[in-house]
Structure 1
Amino acid sequence: MGEFTEKAKGIANEAAGNAKQAVGKATDNERLRAEGEAQERKGEAQNLKGKVQGALGDKI
């Protein structure tokens, strides 16, 4: 996958993770909050992967 695809997936996962965290906090649902945090971290990693691919010219 290319740089843009990874960055887009990362942004989407970060947004979904933030939403889950907010709902989890509002409803006092620790499991949902934790899932949201994990999904946000996954998105951050995907975004970083996209940046690395851009820097290396999609060679990874």
Structure 2
Amino acid sequence: MDKAKGKAKEAVGKATGSDRMKAEGQMDQAEGKAKDAMDDVKEPMCGKHGKRGKD
């Protein structure tokens, strides 16, 4: 979600010449990539159902 929003913001920033909007878009994309990476790490630890091993 954040990556798509970031791409859109960056495109608008490029089209309008707004450096701030371009930067916000790049930040949103980076945030989305970080969240994806965390999900990739968390899934094997917690399993697909969000549970950790046998408690």
TM-score tier, shorter chain, comes to 0.7 to 0.9
After the TM superposition, list the runs of 4 or more consecutive aligned residues in structure 1 that deviate by more than 6 angstroms: none
TM-superposed CA distance for 1:56, in Å, is 1.1
Gaps of 5+ in 1: 1-11
Aligned-pair RMSD on alpha carbons? 1.1
TM-score when normalising by structure 2: 0.81
Structure with max Cα Rg: 2
Residue 9 of structure 2 corresponds to residue 32 of structure 1: no
Q: What fraction of aligned residue pairs are identical, expressed as a percent?
A: 35
Q: Which blocks of at least 5 consecutive residues in structure 2 are unaligned?
A: none
Aligned residues: 48
TM-score of the two chains, using structure 1 as the length reference: 0.75
